[in-house]
């Protein structure tokens, strides 16, 4: 039933939260790489973890959060670029990554493409595109017809 699925999902989120709390105490393990060159965050993004899981990484202490969201995988991609390169990426996951470390929006992919270009090319919603724009222009974006000379 739907209630069972939601309950199981919430249990998984709680389990991930407990695991991250344990790893946060041992800061080295959250940034450790597996045999394929991936950190736990890379794996979460590549395996299409819920945006709630990505938010848990985003809630970590600032220095650790910065390290995790800016680490490159073996192909030279940060988590944001990994997400944008996935077919049918969940916009909420992209938004969670941007919230966690907005400066990653300004880092080009290994091919030199800016993340906002990929985001618009794959048709992410305007709310996510606005989040990209706000990292580059931290001012309130308003409609042109509202501002009259």
pTM greater than 0.75 = yes
Q: Are 30 and 64 in contact (CB under 8 A)?
A: yes
- Structure confidence by residue, pLDDT tens digits, 115-127: 999 999 999 999 9
- Per-residue pLDDT of 43-65, as tens digits, reads 999 999 999 999 989 998 899 89
Residue 100: CB atoms within 10 A of its CB come to 22
SS3 14: helix
Measured CA to CA, the distance from residue 111 to residue 33 in angstroms comes to 23
Mean pLDDT per 10-residue interval, the chain, length 149 residues: 40 55 59 86 91 91 92 94 95 97 92 94 95 74 46
């Amino acid at each position: 039933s739907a209630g069972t699925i939601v309950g199981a999902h919430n249990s998984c989120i709680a389990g991930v939260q407990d695991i991250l709390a344990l790893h946060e105490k041992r800061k080295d393990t959250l940034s450790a790489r597996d045999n394929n060159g991936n950190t736990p965050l890379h794996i979460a993004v590549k395996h299409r973890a819920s945006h709630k899981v990505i938010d848990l990484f985003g809630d970590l202490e600032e220095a650790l959060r910065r390290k995790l969201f800016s680490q490159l995988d073996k192909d030279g991609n940060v988590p944001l670029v990994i997400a944008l390169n996935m077919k049918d990426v969940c916009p909420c996951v992209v938004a969670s990554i941007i919230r966690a470390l907005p400066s990653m929006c300004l880092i080009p992919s290994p091919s030199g493409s800016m993340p906002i270009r990929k985001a618009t090319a794959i048709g992410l919603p305007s709310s996510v595109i606005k989040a990209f724009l706000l990292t580059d222009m931290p001012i309130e974006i308003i409609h042109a017809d509202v501002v009259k000379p």
